[in-house]
Chain A
Amino acid sequence: MSVLVFADNSEGKFKKTAYEMVSFGKQIAKKAETSLVVVAINASEVDSLSAYGPDKILSIDDDRLSTFNAQAYAACIAQAAEKESATIVAIDSSNDGLYLAPILSVKLNAGFASNVVDFPVSLDPFTVKRKAFSSKGFNFTEIHTAIKLLGLAKNSIGLIEENSSPEKESFSPTLDDQMFNVTSKSIDKTTGTVTIADADVVVSGGRGLKGPENWGMIEELADVLGAATACSKPVSDMGWRPHSEHVGQTGKPVTSNLYIAIGISGAIQHLAGVNSSKVKVVVNNDPEAPFFKAADYGIVGDAFEVIPELTNKLKEFKSTL
């Protein structure tokens, strides 16, 4: 038996999430007294994974996999899991991870728990804590199948350094043409800005900003913090900002370390989308805004005065670091 994790990359480079996946897998492998195998597809820097403790790295290099393909990627991970007799398999919760995981679950006949937020509570029965009800509750799921598949929610455990000298092996899974029935025609990526999914800090604006012309100060604050920008639902509904920035129950979930909400009152659906953010700061001129009950830090004040000053002070602060 072994623990197997998939370390995804973007154009060959691992993101922080991949290192978090390896950290997650290593701690479970230690608890289960077994080894950790990491699978990487077309990755250029597998040595960087060694800082987080893998015992073995399986590298798959195949031009057909240069563009993400859920079926084919799931087949690769399933075959790696079978080869390594993995009983616990973990993947991340990126858009791609969530696309391939259910397919992988059926291929491995593995019970799947998504949105896992911590290490397994117990290995027998195998129990994990996962987010449910749009982060308004947690569900402790017992998986009964021989192989367990876990989808780790981003930023749930962070990085845990543990140097290792992993065995490296190249692996060529069997892929047939049928797995490539869904083909990518074009990819349109927003460049130059931090995305909500990747961001450690998110700066978000609501109706209190009064209009799209005032978003400059949100972007400026986000720029100083290296943050992604986001918005509340009414703002995206009114077309001030694109839907891809809408945070909330049916919009994007935020799992950043810091969420700054400006001029957002805090409807229950919005709060459901930001519950998983570690630290929440709210700026609103209405002291009765429900968001103050959910926030860690708050300023009751006029955003048009507070935000430019916060941006300037943060610039000064950053220059002293």
Chain B
Amino acid sequence: MKILVCISHVPDTTSKINFSADNSQFDTTGVQFVINPYDEFVLTRAMWFKEKQGASVTVASVGTASVEPTLRKALAIGADDAIRIDAEPTDGLMVAKHLAEVVKSEGFDLVLAGKESIDYNGGMVPGMLAELLGYNFVNACIGLEINENNAEAVREIDGGKETLNCILPLVAAGQKGIVEEKDLRIPNMRGIMMARKKPLKIVAASEAQPSSTTAKYEKPAAKGACKLVDAGNIDELISLLHNEAKVI
């Protein structure tokens, strides 16, 4: 089985988010970039398939040279090789089109991606990629088993879960549950050393044009101070929630 894991290079979850003075750019000053946490879950699942069932695992990312440390980390975790599609990712459809080219040229049976990236939270690339390729697609996977050409996926639904059957080729978008957080891999020294020697291929991007662009950014409005209510005066809290906030 040939597995492709799509990797997003995103600000660390503890990052404070700031924009340039004119609000036209995301300000990356002092921001640490990491593998998108949702992608880390599916990468770990890919490692499981590789070790238990036999599979090759390629990681791919659309981005400039700045994403290479993130791809190297994925290699250190255990991926066999990496592909960087040389383009500035602007919108989801464009990223999906770039990735689709790679899948078509290399031929993967299973494409895994996080259900969304924690920067733009679009949640669109995996589904678009599946539709562009004509592959089956399961979103928000909290479980995935592959048996020969058959896949059984468990996805989150509002208020529960649903088990789905389908056949490969498949694009599956995962989240916590596809593996548990305690099972996530941390690169060890051997992995880091080996990652340096693993192939990282740079491919030119296709001519896909973005379907959308960012006009500007905005930070959420500054919050007013928290109104503190004395622990002995619960009635006041109820009155505030009813009369002022109008939420009860």
Among B44-52, B58-66, B136-144, B192-200, the stretch in contact with A:
B136-144
Q: Is the CB of B226 within 8 A of A243?
A: no
Partner of B163 from the list A186, A302, A310 (CB cut-off 8 Å) is A186
Main secondary structure of the interface of A (DSSP, over half): mixed
**Is there an interface contact between B128 and A105, defined as CB atoms closer than 8 Å?**
yes
Q: SS class of chain B's interface: helix, strand, loop or mixed?
A: mixed
Residues of B within 8 A of A183 (CB): 164-166
Evaluate contact between B92 and A281: CB separation under 8 angstroms: no
Q: Hey, which chain B residues are within 8 Å of A83, CB to CB?
A: none
Judge whether B21 is part of the interface by a CB distance below 8 angstroms.
Answer: no
* Assembly CA distance A251 to B132 (angstroms): 28
| B residues 142-201 touching A (CB-CB < 8 Å) | 152, 155-167, 175-177, 181-182
CB neighbours (8 Å) of A133 from chain B are: 11, 17, 26, 118-121
Choice from B122, B159, B230 contacting A195 with Cβ under 8 Å: B159
List CB contacts (< 8 Å) of A205-262 with chain B.
225, 237, 243-244, 246, 249-251, 257-258
Q: Is the CB of A95 within 8 A of B166?
A: no
Stretch of A24-32, A134-142, A156-164 on the interface side: A134-142
If A102-B124, A294-B223 touch, whether A182 touches B166 (CB-CB below 8 Å) is: yes
**B-contact 0/1 string along A86-111, CB 8 Å cutoff:** 00000000111011111101110011
Q: Assess whether B214 is interfacial by the CB under 8 Å rule.
A: yes
B91 within 8 A of A: yes
Given A294-B223, A310-B237, A313-B235, residue A95 in contact with residue B165 (CB < 8 A): no
Which residues from chain B contact A314 at a C-beta distance below 8 Å? 238, 248
Are A279 and B245 CB-contacts (below 8 A) given A95-B140, A187-B160? Answer: yes
Q: Is the CB of A140 within 8 A of B211?
A: no
Across the interface, B211 reaches (CB within 8 A) one of A125, A144, A244, namely A144
Shortest CB–CB separation between residue A10 and chain B, in angstroms? Answer: 8
- Which chain B residues lie closer than 8 Å to A100 at the CB level? 127
Quick check: is A288 within 8 A (CB to CB) of the other chain? no
Alpha-carbon distance between A295 and B241 when the two chains are bound, in angstroms: 13
Q: Across the interface, which residues of B come within 8 angstroms of A189, CB to CB?
A: 157, 159-160
Let me know if B156 and A244 touch, CB within 8 A.
yes
- Cβ of A177 under 8 Å from chain B: no
Q: What is the size, in residues, of chain B's interface with A at 8 Å between Cβ atoms?
A: 80
The answer on a CB contact under 8 Å between B248 and A258 is yes
- Pair A107/B131 contact, Cβ less than 8 Å: yes
Q: Which of A125, A183, A279 gathers the greatest number of chain B CB atoms within 10 Å?
A: A279
Q: Which residues of A contact B237 (CB under 8 A)?
A: 281, 297, 299, 310
In contact, A198 and B38 (Cβ under 8 angstroms): no
Question: Does A52 lie at the interface of the complex (its beta carbon under 8 Å from any beta carbon of B)?
Answer: no
Cα–Cα, bound, A300→B238 (Å)? 16
Q: Across the interface, do B137 and A182 meet the contact criterion of CB distance under 8 Å?
A: yes
Known A111-B211, A185-B163, A313-B235; contact A96-B217, beta-carbon cutoff 8 A = no
Q: How many angstroms between the C-alpha atoms of A225 and B248 in the bound complex?
A: 8
Interface status of A201 (Cβ within 8 A of chain B): yes
B215 interface neighbour in A71, A99, A141, A310, Cβ under 8 Å: A141
Residues of A within 8 A of B121 (CB): 114-115, 131-134
Min C-beta distance of A306 to chain B, whole Å: 6
